[in-house]
Amino acid sequence: SAMASQADEALIDAVKEKDSKEVEGLLKAKADPNAEDEDQGMTALAWAAAFDDVATCKLLLAAKADPDAKGANDSTPLTSAAATGACESTKALLDAKATVDKTGTMLGTPIMWAAAENQTEVIRELIKAKASINVRKGEKITPLMWAAEVNSLEAAKLLIELKANVNIQDAHGRTATMIASWNNSKEVAKILVSASADLKKEDKDKKDAITLARMRRNYTMMNILNDGLWASLEKDVNAINNLNL
């Protein structure tokens, strides 16, 4: 009804203004805790989570807002919290049993969004809640690949430290290193090289990371990868020499 939609709009506005007192009053007056913002396609809870307004998150959850509800833009409260680094809201949503690996916008799970946006604290919280570090969505893309694409260095470091698999290939046969190479994400490429990523792997078009860098004329990237390749060859040669001693 018109009254209901007015109350829902008022609720969304109050959430956006971070006015938890007003939110509380509107919920008591029976505004829908799962109200959605028509312009942005986000639920009230997704907005509160994105702002890390944990008081409002808790009010909405207590009023039975669905912690997994998707807005029209496919965002969930947890992907919204993850993308903005909203650590306290992430915890509140996980406590309310939000599904840790549920996909949101662009088929990204919360840990993928945290990786893309370099939100290391949120990554730690999600892993504690048993998020899959090598989760593969859409074209079989992992959180580390999302970090590699946009050169999110701190996130990539943390994912590798937490034992993310650096050699997984996506639906096109690309590894995180190939994705870093193609997108000229130099810092992430360096740490993938130092994490002993396999630089000889090829994608479905039979191209390895160095070939992709050459195609893009990413010459510094070619040097980073070539240095890595030489270092790994040297290691192999030393290992063989040690066997022959």
Q: What pLDDT is stored for residue 139 in this prediction?
A: 82
Weakest-pLDDT range from 80-89, 98-107, 149-158: 98-107
Phi/psi of residue 225, each to 5°?
A: -70, -40
pLDDT at 2 over 70: no
Q: What is the pTM of this model?
A: 0.89
Pair 121, 89: CB distance under 8 Å: no
- State pLDDT tens for residues 215-234: 999 999 999 999 999 988 88
- State pLDDT tens for residues 45-96: 999 999 999 999 999 999 999 999 998 888 899 999 999 999 999 999 999 9
Q: What pLDDT is stored for residue 107 in this prediction?
A: 73
pLDDT at 181 over 90: yes
- pLDDT above 70 covers a percentage of the chain that reads 98
Beta-bridge partners for 141: 137
In angstroms, the CA 66 to CA 89 distance is 14
Q: What pLDDT is stored for residue 104 in this prediction?
A: 76
Which class is domain 136-245? mainly alpha
Q: Between 136 and 187, whose confidence is greater?
A: 187
In single-letter form, the type of residue at position 140 comes to K
pLDDT at 1 over 80: no
The CA–CA distances, whole Å, from 180 to 51, 134, 191, 230 equal 30, 17, 11, 19
The token pair at 123 is 């990554």
Pair 31, 7: CB distance under 8 Å: yes
CA dihedral 142→143→148→149, nearest 10 degrees, is: 80
- Rounded to the nearest integer, the mean pLDDT of the chain is 93
What band does 102 get if pLDDT is binned at 50, 70 and 90? confident
The CA–CA distances, whole Å, from 192 to 14, 179, 207 equal 44, 11, 18
In our burial notation (b when 16+ CB lie closer than 10 A, e otherwise), range 90-107 reads bbbbbebebebbebbbbe
Q: Which residues contact 190 (CB under 8 A, 6 or more apart)?
A: 224
Q: Where are the domains of the chain?
A: 136-245
